[in-house]
A and B are shown apart, each in its own frame.
Chain A
Amino acid sequence: MLNLLAHIAHKRSSPRGCWAVLVLTLGALIGLSGRPARAADDQPQPLTGRQMIIHVLNRCGYGPRPGDVERVEKMGLPAYMRQQLHPETIDDSALRAELARFDILAMGATELSRTFREEQQANKQRQIDRANAEKNGAVAMTGTSSNSASAQNERAAPAKRPGGEGPRRSFLAVAELQDAKIISAVDSPRQLYEVLVDFWSNHFNIDVRKGPCRVLKVVDEREVIRPHVFGKFRDLLGASAKSPAMLHYLDNFQNSAPREMSPNEQRRRQQALQQSPGAPTETVDNKPRQVGGLNENYAREIMELHTLGVDGGYTQKDVQEVARCFTGWGVDPQTGEFVFAPRRHDNGPKTVLGHDIPPNGGIKDGETVLDILASHPSTARFISTELCRRLVADDPPPALVERAAAVFRGTDGDLRAVVQTIIYSPEFFSPQAYRAKIKSPFEFAVSAVRATGRTIVPDDLLPMNARLAMEAGATFGRGMDRIANARRKSLDIAVIEMGQPLFAYQAPTGYTEDSRKWVNAGALIARMNFALALSEHKVVNVSAPSADLMRGVDADKPVLVLDQLNHVLLQGEMAPATRATLEKQISDKQTSDASTVNVPELTALVLGSPEFQRH
């Protein structure tokens, strides 16, 4: 192990921020080598070289596929990790070809928001038309049952649209996002990259169920999150601050300096009011109307959740001042893109976290805030803590957090250097961290697909858009009774049923990084059911397991089957108690019928075992 770590430290290729990491890693090595050669009885054994590989595949990826451990063994763990830290060196053209079928994901912000707007309007018009038709129909046939209208609603539900255009594309965008994320996690050779994309997308959480976020998250994922996960934190933060999806989700598009309406605006408002017949008539007086006002939501969350952390040393006054700095940061309704509206901006002087911001700064005020936050020591610590929680342990080792934070500070927030520090650390490779975290439902589902050598394939039951419509519906909580009774489901629906609809966590915190929170009775039952469904080929868009899974294993010899499953799915690390239970399972079965071992059932049991819930 020591050699391997030293090897990693020496062969590092990234030139920037290396010295600090190198020195720290070597320092840690010296510390390690000072440990007694023989661990005391209560001291867990250090990881073997093979376990280090398994650990990297588990934490810096979505778990090993059959043969992955051997492959990394052959190329060497240091080379593998170096490659993973530089995803641009890994060819992923096959994945990109696979994802090309999701055409909504390629659309620009302007087209996406126009689609959303038009579909909202068309939807409203459709309701009007339907209601009118209903009214006319109702005159003709009085005494229809009270359920007829709702029955009509159901019949008219998602598939049929005027002009035969199919389900709404702004709606399908959600499912395309989810499916693309699943496929990337399963198939991308850039595994660490996908893990970090998941981390940052969750860190800067956006719920697609809020208004136009369902289309704008497409842009956010593609242009805010993905390009920046190995870059500077300031760039990621800045991109997020200008992300139309974020501006909507955390309400900053409504954040403006309060001001009086201009006479023109006042007149336009009166006209608009008069044109809508149901609207209340307003007394025309000469008092100027106030419009706009501060919305502190983004200001609070950017400090509490995106940068400083809740105990990061800001006050309610800072929240207000930051909100003032971000007044006028919004979305252009025509282009759907970020726009700064000087007229909505508060140009007074401000003080943020002790820094004076002079008056009349315009858009610069917000940029200054981003500079202050990105370079704040609390941010370095908070980001390092969360990354360590994701990559190392639910209770992040404080010393490692401090070292990662030092690298963050010393490299101007170079996220590659920070991640490198974390995953090259002795804490990362410590026996306490090994298989210690519970997989999230998403990690569990993807790792089960990978472990059995399966891949995502086109749905064999429904056309793509019908499937996507069902998935998007499930994300919005629609059609769940139909879905609950469906015999076969897609992987995305399974992840929703296990409690983790992707891109759809309501609170801005995102899903917790503390993996213990994923443990509860209902979710565990859902996991067992997923393991069964996967093994019985009831997940419609997942292929059969790799032929290699049972190659050369005599299915008449239960012990050999079990050995093989243990080897492939748990890398030979099945707990003795689990093994005893499964052996009993086999022997009970064999007394009742003499046929061969039920491989799918055994596979399901291993995938649903306590061991496979961890990584």
Chain B
Amino acid sequence: MTLTRRAFLKRGGLALVSVGTVPLWGPSFLQQLVFAAEPTRAGGKKILVCIFQRGAVDGLSMLVPFGDPNYYQARSEIAIAQPTQKTGPQGVLDLNGFFGLHPNMAALMPIYKSGHLALIHACGSPSSNRSHFDAQDFMECGVADDKSIRTGWLNRALLNCPEDRAKLTPFRAVSMTSILPRTLQGDQEALAIPDLKSFGVGGDGFNPSSATASAASGFEGMYESAVGDLLHGTGKDAFDAIGMLKAADPTKYSPRNGASYPNGAFGRSLMQIAQMIKANIGVEVAFAEIGGWDTHVNQGGAQGQLANRFTEFSGGLAALYQDLGDRMNDVVILTMSEFGRTVRQNGNRGTDHGHATCFMVLGGPVRGGKVYGKWPGLAREQLFEGRDLMLTTDYRDVFAELSQKHLGARDVNKIFPNHKLNARNYPGLLAV
């Protein structure tokens, strides 16, 4: 039983600080807990933040191949203009004379220029499945077309990483969602927290009453005394976790370095991930998601539906990067989407389900300021199945590189069992 195993390991490490009936949220108790979670390893604990763009983002609008004339031919009404002086704010943000970021992703430009943002074009899954449901499932499981693997790749990655026993906390793997995503399902215990405010007894979710504190101490007492029961350990974990969060005081958080998160669920998810990272409560992997990418109809160009999604998306990423400041030295942010969209616009000025798309990797350890991946071209004969952007980087090579070099996974073949891995195929995203 993994749960008990984890509980046991953790108990071993924390036994000294949490023995006895310390009053809940008492200052010394908290100090010790937070102290226990403080990283001691040189360079600090490595953290991976994964962001899923659900609905299949149009990679060709996110990272525009403005140097490829076929792009403008295929998209007479929805293409983003070249980065000329004349087009001004309507034009793409030139990165290297061939590719440019969507104009609404300007927030990421400083990060790109500082060399901490890498983009990987024509990246994704080799599966030709164009169902959101299946393709997301495959990507979260770290497979292509194989339905026999049932656990998530991030979960397997953590199982494959060295455990810092004394520092293991319930926050090792956290998802800012109400239901644990497939990516984090498996034997490694993970928390699904839709909102930190509701992570507590009588939290905002069910509107706190005056009796909350008293009820909380009652619950804690009962689980503390249920010695010998599997639930005893879980109860302790739960109240440890609440205590650790309380110490971080999620209600009084203000972002640093002038970071400003966009309104809405995505911005809040990222802000709360920053809070947890800064609170040193043992986060190693965090997951968030953002929807709205399934732009079949009127997706727009420099402005419009998709452009607005890019504003929120890039604004959130930039805020997280800024807010974390020096902590970004230990953090890598990875963005992914289940597939891309058709190269040609459809009859409704939108795009349909396609193949390869654009992934991003941000962070201090990243060798950024660069677009990775071989560009397959957009001429008809260069397209996948005659319609979609061809794949040149298997997403598992990206995930595997990050798992191995950033998280420290011992055997990446266990994380991506059906993919022939070879470090030489890694894009080389990390400096290490």
Contact = CB atoms under 8 A, between A and B. Distances in A.
Given A484-B195, A529-B202, A613-B231, A128 B238 contact: no
Interface string A131-172: 110110010000000110110000000000000000000000
B349 to A, nearest CB: 8
Nearest to B149: A507
B265 interface: yes
A402 interface: no
Contacts of B209: 532, 536
B251 interface: no
Interface in B159-214: 170, 177-180, 182, 185, 189, 191-195, 197-207, 209, 211-212, 214
A149 B305 contact: yes
B297 A131 contact: yes
A583 B270 CA distance: 43
Interface in B355-370: none
B242 A525 contact: yes
Per CB-CB distance, the 3 closest pairs between chain A and chain B, nearest first, are A131-B298, A577-B225, A278-B346
B249 interface: no
Interface of A: 124, 127-128, 131-132, 134-135, 138, 146-147, 149-150, 207, 209-211, 276-280, 282, 297, 300-301, 304, 438, 474, 477, 480-481, 483-485, 487-489, 496-497, 499, 501, 506-509, 516-517, 519-522, 524-525, 528-530, 532-533, 536, 538, 575, 577-578, 580-582, 584-585, 588-589, 598, 600-601, 604-605, 608-610, 613-614
Given A280-B383, A524-B223, A578-B225, 17 more contacts: A124-B297, A128-B297, A149-B304, A211-B133, A280-B386, A301-B147, A477-B178, A484-B178, A507-B185, A520-B234, A521-B237, A522-B191, A529-B198, A532-B202, A610-B226, A610-B229, A610-B235
A602 B276 CA distance: 33
Given A124-B297, A280-B380, A487 B230 contact: no
Contact of B191 (A131, A521, A609): A521
B96 interface: no
B51 to A, nearest CB: 15
Interface in B370-426: 380, 383, 386-387
A613 B230 CA distance: 11
B46 interface: no
Given A484-B195, A516-B230, A536-B209, A524 B238 contact: yes
B329 interface: no
Contacts of B268: 481
Contacts of A601: 211, 214-215, 218
Nearest to B388: A280
27 contacts: A131-B305, A134-B304, A147-B308, A149-B305, A211-B131, A279-B344, A280-B386, A300-B148, A477-B179, A497-B205, A501-B179, A506-B182, A516-B3, A524-B223, A524-B237, A525-B238, A528-B215, A529-B201, A529-B203, A575-B226, A578-B226, A582-B218, A585-B218, A588-B214, A601-B214, A604-B215, A613-B231
A457 to B, nearest CB: 19
Contact of A209 (B133, B180, B237, B344): B133
Interface of B: 1, 3, 104, 131, 133, 137, 147-148, 150, 170, 177-180, 182, 185, 189, 191-195, 197-207, 209, 211-212, 214-219, 221-227, 229-232, 234-235, 237-238, 240-242, 264-265, 268, 292, 296-298, 303-305, 307-309, 311-312, 342, 344-349, 352, 380, 383, 386-387
Contacts of A536: 206, 209
Contacts of B232: 610
Contacts of B344: 278-280
A209 B204 CA distance: 28
B206 A529 contact: yes
Nearest to B148: A300
B137 A506 contact: yes
B150 A507 contact: yes
A474 B1 CA distance: 30
A525 B298 contact: no
Nearest to B192: A522
Contacts of A609: 222
B298 A581 contact: no
Given A124-B296, A582-B222, A519 B3 contact: yes
A361 B185 CA distance: 42
Contacts of B349: 131
A257 B206 CA distance: 54
B127 to A, nearest CB: 13
Contacts of A489: 206
B234 A146 contact: no
Contacts of B211: 598, 600-601
B56 to A, nearest CB: 15
A507 B143 CA distance: 14
Given A146-B307, A521-B170, A532-B215, A297 B235 contact: no
B238 A522 contact: yes
A484 B3 CA distance: 27
B195 to A, nearest CB: 5
A487 B1 CA distance: 36
A276 B347 contact: yes
Contact of B225 (A127, A147, A211, A581): A581
Given A149-B304, A209-B133, A528-B219, A481 B182 contact: no
A487 B237 contact: no
Contacts of A300: 147-148
Contacts of B383: 280
> Which residue of A135, A279, A301 has the most chain B CB atoms within 10 A of its CB atom?
A279
A507 B235 contact: no
Contacts of B170: 520-522
B199 A496 contact: no
**Which of B206, B225, B229, B308 gathers the greatest number of chain A CB atoms within 10 Å?**
B206
Nearest to B234: A519
